[in-house]
Structure 1
Amino acid sequence: MSKFKANYALILLIIFALILVACTPQTGVVNTPPASNQEQTQQPAELNKPELEKEAEADTETQVPQVDYKQIGVNENGQIMLLMYHGISDKEDIWVRTPENFRKDLENLYQKGYRLITLKDYLDNNIKVEAGYTPVVITFDDGLKNQFNIIEENGEKKIDPDSAVGIMEEFKKKYPDFGQGGTFYVYYPTPFRQKELIKEKFDFLIENGYEIGNHAYSHENLGKETAEGVQKALALNVFYTQKYLPGYDVFSLALPYGIAPKDEKFKYAVSGEYEGTKYNNRAILRVGSNPAPAPNHVKFDAARLPRVRASELDTGGVGMYDYLASFEKYPEKKYISDGNPDTVVIPEEEQENINKESLKDKQLVTYKKN
């Protein structure tokens, strides 16, 4: 009996040893689990995904270069040029640039560190310009054919490469980082002087980042109009623009001849109504001869925005090239971006010129200049 018990105990010991070996993990062998088990093995990784993403974001943030405000002279309360053009034609004149000179203007702006923004982004204080660069706005008055001309070549329609739009589109391809945009202030009955192509041109402009503004219905001198006359001229312009572009927001006015309605009638340049058509101009642009204040400057007045004439003839020292030279000599006067549209960065001494109510959700950052 004792011998039987001993054999029985030995058998149990051997069985236990075999079970222990079978349950021990073995190295050097990778088994692909069934699909259901594979999903389960992935769950811990999914649970840790937010932490992994946070680590990745932290790594990315550490790679973003810090801007040395003092070194590049950041001043996001400096002046911004709103350039004013009229004709683009073969013969240079006070109100006309040749195609060659317009190309030269764009090249000079680019090489001197200016980057194009839209008027809307300027008004919205949504200035997305790289650190160290200066925003510039381009406007065209009158809606002339040489601003946007469509020609036929080999039986196909194309944009005249020597028209303003043709030149700007060409420049955009050459320097994609220059930016895009431009506001065309048109009047009626035939903006851009090709009646059958008005709709096509308007569509192209809007689809390619340009804006269309109000220049009164037929270029009326608003300083001579009655209150009703001012409203009629501005409302009819909006009415016909929206006829080609239903629902389009015509939000700015360039004063014909640079003349505003007189005295109490000025309010009708801002907003009004005629025969059911309402208008509201967020900005009124003058012919004025100096750069405009930054959107957060205490002197910023959207109803009285000055422009700089893009010309080299009879500028009286206040043309585009005069200010380019002035800003090179006194760079602290111009707007210089920090590269972050969510902040407004200025030297400490500029604080008194900031309209803090206009900042809204922007963060004001100051730094010591000296």
Structure 2
Amino acid sequence: MRSVSSFPPIVGPLLGVANVVVMAVAVVGLTVVPSSGEPVPSPQAALAAPPTEKPPQDPSAPAGTPSQAPSPSSTAGQPPGVAATPEFARQVKANEAGLVPVLMYHRIIAKRHASIDRTPKQLRQELETLAKRGYVPITAAEFATGDIRVPAGRFPVVLTFDDGHESHFRLDASGNPVPDTAAGVILDVARRYPSFRPTATFWVNREPFGLRDEAAQAAAVRWLVGHGFEVANHTWSHPNLGVLSKKKVQKQIGKVQRMLEKLGAGTPRTLALPFGVAPHPRELARTGKWDGTRYDFTGVFLAGAEPSRSPYAKNFPRGAIQRIQSNGKKGECRKWCSQYWLEWLDKHPGERYVSDGDPGRISIPSRLRGNIGAKWNDRVNAY
């Protein structure tokens, strides 16, 4: 049996082709875009099958687990810590060396103009599928740093939205997210599936969410950060960093870093590479400085086209983290997009990251002990 530290067999030989395909699709798409002290839960509760009732009962919650309404904190929907023992980890089939889907979205619009667009209905259906299958969202920064707080027996998923499009976030006259925006859909799904944590990462350019007024930009960014979302760096003007000078690369990244700090996002810890293309040298995507503003990212993300390795893996590519384009199984997406990969992970559960519910331990089957990076050795809980 192959270890999860290696790519699934279908991936390896075609990985380079897949990334080229994703890049090409992204370019075409952009050309048509207008602008602990808590009680420890029993293994039986963690392993219980999800009920089938409709909301208000959360159909994805393990039997006997109380539902929690989302809270507007940075840890909204996150479970209390548990103390995972090897026996507990075995019973919940924990595998924190497994693969994690990092899903990539672009515009969320009623009528798709490019293959990378998704409609609000399509987004809602995919999020409901994730909720029913036991996935719990975390941010890109939490994933990259290994701060994964997901209930025992469940699976982390990272929802990411590129370009800071107006379809991702807008507030209505009452100060609530517009229902058919990405944030609105996420919050609605979380209300109906309370175990589905309402969070995502929005990677923005120079006009976050299509807003030009600085006060409006600050209001949007602070609302999102205040409600547990991440707003981070996607460069100033979305260029191909691979053809820019070192100075221009650092300016593209540094300007957004400075803007987001000023708007109240804190210091962004993650970067999504435009078109998935890294600069030369690649290290400039992770660390650099422009006009007195420094950046030092915990994670740099690509544009596709497979699940990511665990952040605890010794070969975790912190400067080139894989993502999966959200889409059905058509055309080039027959093998490289979200429907294909979510089905693949269902069919290969031994390859998927399964949480032990204990953020202080890294629970894995003993055979995978050698896959974990040395910096995490004191946290390994092998069974």
Q: Same fold (TM over 0.5)?
A: yes
Q: Kindly indicate whether residue 98 of structure 2 is the aligned counterpart of residue 78 of structure 1.
A: yes
Q: Check conservation: 1:118, 1:180, Cα contact below 8 A.
A: no
Does residue 65 (structure 1) correspond to residue 42 (structure 2)? The answer is yes
> Is 2:177 the counterpart of 1:177?
no
* Residues 346 and 157 of structure 1: CA distance in aligned 2, closer, same or farther (over 3 Å): closer
**Mean Cα deviation higher: 105-114 or 348-357:** 348-357
Corresponding position: 1:133 with 2:154: yes
Work out which of the residue numbers 274, 282, 294 in structure 2 matches 1:256.
274
Note the residue ranges of structure 1 that are not aligned, 5 or more in a row: 1-56
- Matched with 1:147 is 168
1:105 is aligned to 2:126: yes
Structure 2 CA distance, aligned partners of 1:107 and 1:355? Answer: 34
Structure 2 distance, partners of 1:73, 1:108, is 21
Aligned to 2:9: none
Q: How big is the shift at 1:71?
A: 4.4
Higher relative contact order (CA 8 A, sep 6+): 2
User: Per-residue deviation at 1:243?
Assistant: 2.2
* 1:88 is the counterpart of 2:108: yes
Q: CA 1:232 to 1:114, structure 2 compared with 1: closer, same or farther past 3 Å? A: same
**Deviations 1:145-169 (CA, angstroms, capped at 9, x unpaired):** 11112344xxx45421001011112
Q: How does 1:312-351 map to 2 (within 5 A)?
A: 312=328, 313-314=330-331, 315-351=333-369
The Cα shift of 1:72 comes to 3.6
Equivalent in the alignment of 1:6:
none
Distance in 2, matches of 1:68 and 1:273, equals 46
Distance in structure 1 (CA, Å) of the matches to 2:337 and 2:193:
24
Secondary structure of the 2:156 match is strand
Residue in 2 that maps onto 1:39:
none
Q: Contact 2:198 / 2:228 at 8 angstroms: preserved in 1?
A: yes
Q: SS in structure 2 opposite 1:162?
A: coil
Contact 2:232 2:260 (8 Å CA) reproduced: no
- Code of the residue aligned with 1:333 in structure 2: it is E
For 2:367 and 2:259, the matched residues in 1 are separated by 48
Bigger mean CA offset, 176-185 vs 227-236: 176-185
* Structure 2 residues not aligned, in runs of 5+: 1-36, 44-86
Secondary structure, counterpart of 1:131 in structure 2: coil
Q: CA deviation at 1:210?
A: 0.7
2:210 to 169, 193, 197: 193
Which residue identity does 1:82 align to in structure 2? V
Provide Cα deviations, 1:16-72, integer angstroms capped at 9, x if missing partner: xxxxxxxxxxxxxxxxxxxxxxxxxxxxxxxxxxxxxxxxx9xx96x7424654444
Q: Please tell me whether residue 227 in structure 1 is matched to residue 246 in structure 2.
A: yes
What's the CA shift for 1:105?
Answer: 0.7
Structure 2 counterpart of 1:4: none
| Structure ranking higher in strand proportion | 1
Cα distance in structure 2, aligned partners of 1:113 and 1:172? 13
State TM-score, norm by structure 2: 0.74
Alignment match, 1:245: 264
Indicate the larger mover: 116-125 or 325-334.
116-125
Once residues 303 and 114 of structure 1 are traced to their aligned partners in structure 2, the CA distance between those partners, rounded to angstroms, is 25
State the Cα deviation string for residues 83-125 of structure 1 (Å, max 9, x = none): 1110100124421111011000110001011111122222232
Structure 1 window deviating more from structure 2 (78-87 vs 336-345): it is 336-345
Specify whether residues 241 and 64 from structure 1 end up closer, same or farther in structure 2 by C-alpha distance, changes over 3 A only.
closer
SS at structure 2 position matched to 1:150:
coil
Deviation at 1:217, TM superposition (A): 0.8
Matched position secondary structure for 2:382: strand
Larger Rg: 1 or 2?
1
- Structure 1 residues 232 and 113, CA gap change in structure 2 (3 angstroms): same
**What corresponds to 1:115 in structure 2?**
136
Of the three residues 320, 325, 342, the one matched with 1:309 is 325
Q: CA deviation at 1:356?
A: 2.9
2:228 matched residue in structure 1: 209
Q: Is the 8 A contact 2:103 2:326 kept in 1?
A: yes
SS at match of 2:301: strand
Are positions 1:286 and 2:302 aligned together? Answer: yes
> Given that residues 131 and 195 in structure 2 are in contact (C-alpha distance below 8 angstroms), is that contact kept between their aligned partners in structure 1?
no
- 2: CA distance between counterparts of 1:307 and 1:112? 19
1:165-217 deviations in whole A, cap 9, x for unaligned?
111122222222211321111001x2111323211101101100111111111
Give me the TM-score of the superposition, normalised by structure 1. Answer: 0.76
Aligned to 1:9: none
CA spacing shift, 1:72–1:233, aligned 2, 3 Å? same
**Number of matched residues?**
299
Cα distance in 2, alignment partners of residues 229 and 316 from structure 1: 37
Describe the superposition over 1:309-346 as per-residue Cα deviations: whole angstroms up to 9, x where unpaired.
11114314121111111111110000011111121111
Higher helix share: 1
Q: Which residue of 2 aligns with 1:12?
A: none
